[in-house]
Amino acid sequence: MTPDDKINDFAIRCFRDQGDDDYVSARMSFRSALVGPLLWSSLQMIEKYLKCILLLNRISSKKMFHNLAFGLDAIRRSGKLDVALTRKTRDFIEHIDAFGRFRYLEVSNVAYGANLLQLDRTAWELRRYCSLDEAPRRLELKHGLLPPTYRLPGGRLEGIVDSDSDRARRSLLWRNPFFGLRRRRKVGVDYWVKATNAPLYLNPEIFDEIERLVLLPKDLVREYQRYRKP
Please report, in tens digits, the pLDDT of each residue of the chain (230 residues total).
999 999 999 999 999 999 999 999 999 999 999 999 999 999 999 999 999 999 999 999 999 999 999 999 999 999 999 999 999 999 999 999 999 999 999 999 999 999 999 999 999 999 999 999 999 999 999 988 999 999 999 999 999 999 999 999 999 999 999 999 887 888 999 999 999 999 999 999 999 999 999 999 999 999 888 877 65
The strand pairing partners of 109, in sequence order, are 196
Provide the pLDDT for residue 144. Answer: 87
Provide the pLDDT for residue 44. Answer: 98
Q: State how far the Cα of 99 lies from the Cα of 36, in Å rounded to an integer.
A: 9
Q: State how far the Cα of 184 lies from the Cα of 83, in Å rounded to an integer.
A: 26
93 within 8 A of 46, measured Cβ to Cβ: yes
How many CA atoms lie less than 13 Å away from 15 in the CB half-sphere? 23
Provide the pLDDT for residue 229. Answer: 66
Q: State how far the Cα of 199 lies from the Cα of 197, in Å rounded to an integer.
A: 7
Provide the pLDDT for residue 114. Answer: 97
Beta-carbon contacts of residue 193 (< 8 Å; ≥ 6 apart): 110, 111, 112, 113
Burial of 111-129, coded b for 16+ CB within 10 Å and e otherwise, reads: bbbebbbbbbbbbbbbbbb
Report the length, in residues, of the chain: 230
- The pTM of the full predicted model, rounded to 2 decimals, is 0.96
Q: State how far the Cα of 118 lies from the Cα of 16, in Å rounded to an integer.
A: 19
